[in-house]
Structure 1
Amino acid sequence: MSAVEIRPATVEDVPLILGFIKKLAEYEKLLHEVVATEELLTESLFGAKPYAEVIIASARVTPESELKPAGMALFFHNFSTFLGSPGLYLEDLFVDIEFRGKGIGKKLLTQLAVIAKERSCKRYEWVCLDWNKPSREFYESLGAKPQSQWIIHRVEGKSLDDLATL
C-alpha cells in the first residue's frame, strides 16, 4: 500500500482514537474494561500536562479512494536507569481490519522508531498478549526480542487505593 500518511494526532482526533481503542479492546476480548471517554482522553492527551501521544495512519482502500483513518499508535516516554536515558513505550498499536496485512502496522512501528531516535531514546518497547501469536511473530520479524525474564506487575483499582493508604 503506497498511499499511507502518518501524522501526529490532534484534539479533533479524540473520537477516532477512542473508537480505535474500543476496537482494539474488542479484538483482545477486553471491551468490558474500557472506561476511557472522550473527555478523559482529551485531558490526558492534549491537556495542560499530556501523558501520552498518538500518531494516526491514514490510507486508501483502493488507489482511487480518499484517504481514510486506518490505525494508530499510542505511546509515551519511560526512563531506563541502567542506560541513564529515556525510552519510548508503545501502549497500543491498532490497525483497522480492512487495512491489516497492508504494511500499515509496520509503518506505524517504523515511525515510532524514528521518533525514538530523534528523541535520543535508547529503548523502544511494548508488550503483547501471549495468545496473540501473529502479532508476536510480526514483531519478531522486525527485530523485536521477547523479554521473557521480566514479569509485569500491576496494581489497580482497590489494590491501588489500598496501597496508597499504607
Structure 2
Amino acid sequence: MTQIRSATRADTGTILRFVRELAAFEREPDAVEATEATLGEALFGDAPAAEAVIADGPQGPVGFAVFFHNFSTWTGKRGVYLEDLYVTPEARGQGVGGALLAHLAGIAIDRGCARFEWSVLDWNADAIAVYRKLGAVGMEDWTIQRLTGDALVRLAGR
C-alpha cells in the first residue's frame, strides 16, 4: 500500500533523482540544472518556493509531486499548481499517481483553494486519459508562454 507524506530535507537526493528520471521520460535528459543544494534550499530553506510530497511503497519511495500556490484574481483565491508528478516505472499502474493527485486535491480543499492545475505534454496520452477519468478539463484555448535566458534578461532591460 502506498503512503503519501510531506517531503523533508532528507528526501532532497531522492527528489532530485526523480526529477532527473522525469526529465529523461519527458525527452529532456540534459535539461535538469538543479542540484541537491539548490533544490534543498528551494523546498526546505527559509523561504520555500514550493512543497513536495513523497509516495512510499513497501520498498521505499516510488514517486513524488512538487507543487506551489498560484492565485486567481477571478476567484480571489489561491490555487494549487502541480509542477511535477513522477512515479517510478515499476510502480506505474498501481494507483500511485492517483494517490498523489488525490492527496494534493485534499491539500487544495484544506487550504481553501479554488483550483488545482497542472500542465501535461500533449504527447502523453496515457496521462491525459487518467486526468480525464479524474474529471480534469484541458484548457484548450490557453497555451503556456515562457521566457528564459537571454530573452528574459532582454525583457528586464539588463
Does the TM-score normalized on the shorter chain lie above 0.5?
Answer: yes
Is 2:16 aligned against 1:18?
yes
For 1:63, the equivalent position in structure 2 comes to: none
Q: Which residue of 2 aligns with 1:51?
A: 49
Number of residue pairs the alignment of both structures matches: 158
Match of 1:91 in 2: 83
Q: How does 1:10-159 map to 2 (within 5 A)?
A: 10-60=8-58, 67-159=59-151
Partner amino acid for 2:51? E
Q: Distance in 1 between matches of 2:60 and 2:42?
A: 25
Per-residue Cα deviation, 1:89-141 (whole angstroms, up to 9, x for no partner)? 00000000000000000000000000000000000000000001010011111
Identity of aligned residues (%): 47
Deviations 1:4-42 (A, max 9, x none): 111000000000000000000000011111101001001
SS at structure 1 position matched to 2:65: strand
In structure 1, what is the Cα distance between the partners aligned to 2:29 and 2:37? 18
Q: Could you give the per-residue CA deviations for residues 55-106 of structure 1, whole angstroms, max 9, x where no partner exists?
A: 000112xxxxxx3111001000000000000000000000000000000000
Q: Which residue of 2 aligns with 1:7?
A: 5
Given residue 33 of structure 1, which amino acid in structure 2 is its aligned partner?
Answer: A
**Which stretches in structure 1 are left out of the alignment for 5+ residues?**
61-66
* Contiguous gaps of at least 5 residues in structure 2: none
